[in-house]
Structure 1
C-alpha cells in the first residue's frame, strides 16, 4: 500500500468553500531534547487544515447547491449528469480514491462549462484540489485553487474568496514561500473584515500566526493565534479552535515556554477528543510528548505515547502507527536505552516498507545507523 501525501498532518485536506466551513487553512500538525525551532515547526506546514477535514457532500446536497432550472431538456440532462459525476467524485474522495475523483471531476467540469455554470465549476475545482493534495501533486493543486479563485472573483463570492485565498496561502507556506503566503492570507483577512465574516477572520488570523512562526517571530505568532481563538470561539468552531490551540502550542514550544505549551496542547487534546477530531488529537499528543520530554518528564511522555499508539491502531492508520514507533525510538534513544530504541526503529522501518514509503524507510535506517555508531 503506497503512502500518499497528506496535509497538512497533517491529511492535507482543503476547505470546501461551498458551505460553511469548520476547519483551518494550513492549520496543521506537528524532536526531541532541546529541539531546534525548525524541527518544532516543520510538521505544521504539511497540512491544509492540515487541519482541514474533508467536508463530504451528499448527492442531495450537491443537487441543491447546483440546480438551476433550464429551458432546454438537453441542458437539464447535461446538468443531471454533471451533478451525478460531482456527487460520485465526493464519494470517491471520501473513500480515498483520488485518481477516480479527478477523472469524475474533469468530466463534470466539461459539462458545467458547456452549460455555463460558474458556481458549479468553482465547487468542482475545490474538490479537484483536495484530490490532487491526496496525490501530492502540488502544481495541480495550485492550478485548481487559482482557477477556483478566479471564478469566486467573477461571481463576487466573498466567502469562497476568503477560504480559497487561505488555501493558496497554505500551499505557498508549505512550499517555503512565507512572504507570498503572508500577503495572500492578508488579502483573505481584508475581505473577511470587509464583509464581517467572523469565521474567515479566525481562519486568516490563525494562518497568519503560522506565517509569523515560520519566520521565527514567535511573539507575534502567539498574539495572532490568541486573537484567532476569540473569533473561533464566537462561531463555536471546535475543530478550528483545537487547530489554532495546537498552532499556539507550537509557538510556545518553539519559544521555550513549556508551562504554557503543556496547558495549550492539553486544551487542544481535550477539545479534539470530545469532538472525535483525531487529527488534532494526535497532533496535540505529539506536542505534549515533546514538551514533557524536553523538561525530563519521561514517564508522562511515555504515557502519552501509549495513548497515541492505541489510537493509531484503533483507527487502523499505519502511517500514524509508524510515527508512534518512531517517537518511541527517539525517546528511548534520548534516554540512552539504545537496545529498546533499536527495536522501535526496526518496527518503524518494517511499516515504512509495508507502506512502500522508500524515503521514510531510508531516513529511519539512517537514524538507526547513526545511533548504533554512537554507542
Structure 2
C-alpha cells in the first residue's frame, strides 16, 4: 500500500515592514487588495503546515508509529478541508485508512478509503482513484470478503491498463490471483499469476516475478501437481536469494517443504522447513515461523516421531495465539489432535479436535471443519 507523498515548499516568511508617519484613511479598493494579500499569505501558511503534517505522518508510519501518524494526518485533514484542497484531502483520507488497518481496525479503513475514492472521482484524479480502489480491495480481502476484494481489484486493473501503468497492472493481477487462490478457484489464480509473471519479466521486475512464481507454486500445490509446485518454488527461491529478499526466500522454502511433505519425502520436507525456521527471525512478522513449525510437526508426525511432532505443534500453537492468527491456531490444534490420536490418547485427541472445530466454524474454514469432524 503506497502512501501519498509530496515535497514541502519552503515556509513563507511574513515580515511586515512598519513605517512611522501620520495616520490616513485607505480607500476601500486599496483595503480590499491588502486584505486579499493577507488572506493569500494565511492560506499559504496553512497549506505549508498541512504539508508538513502530511510528511511527518508518513515518516511516523514508516517507523511503525501508527498512532502518531494518525494524529498528524487528522490535523492535516482539518487544514486541507479548511483551505478546500480536495486532492490532498483525498490523499490524507487514504493514508488514514491504511493506518487504521495497521492498528487492527476493520470498518474504519473501508470508511476512509470510500471517502478518498469519492474525492478522486469528483476531481477526476485517476491515479488516486486507482490507489483508493486497490486499498479497498486489500481491506475487503483482510475481512475475508474475497468477492468484494476481486470487484475492487478488477476496477483498479481497468485503470492501470487505461493509464498504461504496467508495474501497477502486474501488482493488481497478482492480488487478483491471491484472491482467487483464497476462493479455491485455482484455474483463475493460475491465469492471473501467469499474466503477472509475463509483465514482470517484460519490465524486468524481479520482485514481482518472484511473487508470481510463488502464487503459481501454491496453486499447483493445492491442485496436487507437486512437480510443478516444486519447479515454481525453486525458481522463486533462486530469485529471492539473488535479490536478497528474505521474506520471499522464507515463502519459497515453506512451499518446497509443503510440496515434498505432500509427496511423502519427509526428509526433504524437514530440510526445507528447518532452513525456513532458521531465517524466520530475520523476517518481520512471525508467520514464517508458524509455517515452518507446522511443516516440521506434520513431517515428524508421518515419520512416526510423535514426541517431536507434538513439540513443534505446541510451538506453532503458542505463536499463533500470540499473534492472533486463528487459521494457524486451528492448524496447530489439528496436528496435536492427530498426534495424540496416533499415541492412543483419545481424550486429548478429542479435546484438540473440538477446539479446532470451534475455530474452523468461527472463521468459516470448511476444509478445516471437515478435518476436525473426521
Residue in structure 2 matching 1:230, options 195, 198, 201: 198
> Which stretch shows the higher mean deviation, 357-366 or 110-119?
357-366
Which residue in the other structure is 1:15 paired with?
2
> Which stretch shows the higher mean deviation, 174-183 or 101-110?
174-183
Paired with 1:336 and 1:96, the residues of 2 have a C-alpha distance of 43
Residue in structure 2 matching 1:333, options 301, 326, 332: 301
Deviation at 1:211?
3.7
Which residue in the other structure is 1:180 paired with?
148
Q: Secondary structure at the match of 1:72?
A: helix
Paired with 1:362 and 1:162, the residues of 2 have a C-alpha distance of 35
Residue 238 of structure 2 is aligned to residue 293 of structure 1: no
Residue-by-residue CA offset, 1:154-212 (whole Å, 9 max, x unaligned): 23222232333233223333434333333322222222222322223223332333343
Change (3 A) 1:121 1:267: farther
Paired with 2:214 and 2:141, the residues of 1 have a C-alpha distance of 17
Deviation at 1:139?
0.9
Which residue in the other structure is 2:67 paired with?
99
Which residue in the other structure is 2:95 paired with?
127
Which residue in the other structure is 2:159 paired with?
191
Which residue in the other structure is 1:259 paired with?
227
Deviation at 1:311?
1.3
Paired with 1:105 and 1:72, the residues of 2 have a C-alpha distance of 23
Q: Secondary structure at the match of 1:156?
A: coil
RMSD between aligned alpha carbons? 2.9
Paired with 2:113 and 2:206, the residues of 1 have a C-alpha distance of 26
Q: Secondary structure at the match of 1:116?
A: coil
Deviation at 1:219?
2.2
Paired with 1:343 and 1:232, the residues of 2 have a C-alpha distance of 41
Deviation at 1:226?
0.9
Deviation at 1:221?
2.3
Matches within 5 A, 1:1-375: 14-16=1-3, 18=4, 62-63=7-8, 72-315=40-283, 317-318=285-286, 320-351=288-319, 355=322, 357=324, 363=330, 364=332, 367-368=335-336, 371-375=339-343
Change (3 A) 1:83 1:273: farther
Higher Rg: 2
Paired with 2:337 and 2:115, the residues of 1 have a C-alpha distance of 47
Structure 1 portions without partners, runs of 5+? 1-13, 19-56
TM-score between both structures, scaled by the size of structure 1: 0.73
Q: Is the 8 A contact 1:113 1:121 kept in 2?
A: yes
Paired with 1:307 and 1:237, the residues of 2 have a C-alpha distance of 26
Deviation at 1:338?
1.0
Which residue in the other structure is 2:364 paired with?
none
Paired with 2:102 and 2:262, the residues of 1 have a C-alpha distance of 33
Deviation at 1:352?
5.5
Q: Is the 8 A contact 1:253 1:261 kept in 2?
A: yes
Paired with 2:82 and 2:218, the residues of 1 have a C-alpha distance of 47
Which residue in the other structure is 1:7 paired with?
none
Paired with 1:159 and 1:238, the residues of 2 have a C-alpha distance of 24
Paired with 1:248 and 1:358, the residues of 2 have a C-alpha distance of 24
Structure 2 portions without partners, runs of 5+? 13-36, 344-374
Q: Secondary structure at the match of 2:8?
A: helix
Paired with 2:60 and 2:324, the residues of 1 have a C-alpha distance of 23
Deviation at 1:293?
0.9
TM-score between both structures, scaled by the size of structure 2: 0.74
Paired with 1:230 and 1:73, the residues of 2 have a C-alpha distance of 52
Aligned length: 315
Paired with 1:360 and 1:172, the residues of 2 have a C-alpha distance of 17
